[in-house]
Structure 1
C-alpha cells in the first residue's frame, strides 16, 4: 500500500531540522501518540546528518479485535528517520517503521521543503507492507491509520512546541 502524508511547520527548514533532532521534542511527540513507554536516541547534529530512532510500547485497544492475537501482550513500534545534511532546497531523509514481532513494515522517504511564506512542509512517501496471508490488506489499512494518527500528533506537538519557543 502506498502511503503519503504531510506536516506543516510554522518555521523555516533550518529551525525544523533542529526541532526534529531535539531529543526533548522527539520524546514529547512520542508521548503525544499515546505511548505507554518509549526510548529515544538521536545521533548526530541538526546542522549535519542525523538519525532519530524511537521505540514505543503502544496500547493494543486501537487495533481491530481480530488482529490483537497476532500482537501478544503489546505493540512495540520502532521508527528510524535518517536525515541527510541540509541542502539549499531543503532536506532529505529516509524513514522506516516496524512493528516488532509482526511482519509489517513502512519504508520510504521524507523531505523538508521551504514554503514561500517562511514555513516548512514535511512530506512522507512510502510503501507499507504487511506480509500476513489473507489479512495483509486489512492489517495494512489499520497500520496506515495508526501511522497517520502519529503524524497528526507530531504536527500538533510541533505547533505547540514552536509557539512556546517564540513566546
Structure 2
C-alpha cells in the first residue's frame, strides 16, 4: 500500500531563477528552518549534466503516539534530488527520495519545473510508503499530511526568497 501526495508551487520568476534558488545552499537552509528542520547538512554537486542536491536535517516528531513508537522525538531525514538539465524553455525535472532513518517509511517522487504565463511552476508528485502491518496506512496518512503542509510552506519560503520579502 502507498499514499499519493501532489501539489503545485508557483513563482513569479523564470525557471532559471527558480532553479538557481533551489540549488542555493542558503535557500535550502532557510527552507529547512522554515519547515521545522534543524541541523541542516547541505551538498549541491554537478554530476555530469545533472545536479544532485542532498539535504539532511532533523525534524521534531510531531506525530500521534502510535507513530512516535517508530520515530522517537526526532526524525533524521535524508533528502536527495537529482535534477535533469534544462530544456530549451528552462524546464527540468527531479527524481526525489526522502529517507526517514530508523523508521519503516520513505517517500519517493518527482518535481517538474516548467514555465507558465506569469513565471514558473513546480508540480510535485510523491508516493509515501510505510511498511508496517496493520497501521502502515495510518502512518502514510500522517506523513502525507505533513508533506502537503511542507509543500505549501516551501512555496511561501521560495516566494519570499525570490522577492526579498519577509520569511513566513
Q: Which moved more, 1:124-133 or 1:24-33?
A: 124-133
| Distance in 2 between residues matched to 1:163 and 1:140, nearest whole Å | 34
Indicate conservation of the 8 Å contact 1:49/1:86, yes or no. no
Q: Offset of 1:72 from its aligned partner?
A: 2.7
Q: Give the corresponding residue for 1:56.
A: 57
| Distance in 2 between residues matched to 1:19 and 1:50, nearest whole Å | 13
User: How many pairs does the alignment contain?
Assistant: 161
Question: Superposed, which structure 2 residues align to 1:146-161 within 5 Å?
Answer: 146-161=146-161
| Distance in 1 between residues matched to 2:22 and 2:7, nearest whole Å | 17
Q: Offset of 1:73 from its aligned partner?
A: 4.1
| Distance in 2 between residues matched to 1:73 and 1:3, nearest whole Å | 24
Indicate conservation of the 8 Å contact 1:129/1:140, yes or no. yes
Q: Give the corresponding residue for 1:124.
A: 124
Q: What SS does structure 1 have at the residue aligned with 2:121?
A: strand
The match for 2:35 among 33, 36, 61 is 33
RMSD, aligned α-carbons: 1.6
| Distance in 1 between residues matched to 2:27 and 2:40, nearest whole Å | 13
TM-score by length of structure 2 reads 0.90
Deviation track 1:65-104 (CA, whole Å, cap 9, x = no partner) reads: 2211211342111111110110124111101111111121
Structure 1 runs of 4+ with >6 Å offset: none
Q: What SS does structure 2 have at the residue aligned with 1:57?
A: strand
TM-score by length of structure 1 reads 0.90
Greater share of strand: 2
Deviation track 1:104-145 (CA, whole Å, cap 9, x = no partner) reads: 11111111010012x111011122111011110010011111
| Distance in 2 between residues matched to 1:149 and 1:54, nearest whole Å | 18
Question: Superposed, which structure 2 residues align to 1:16-165 within 5 Å?
Answer: 16-44=18-46, 48-60=49-61, 62-89=62-89, 90-117=91-118, 119-164=119-164
Any unmatched runs of 5+ in structure 2?
A: none
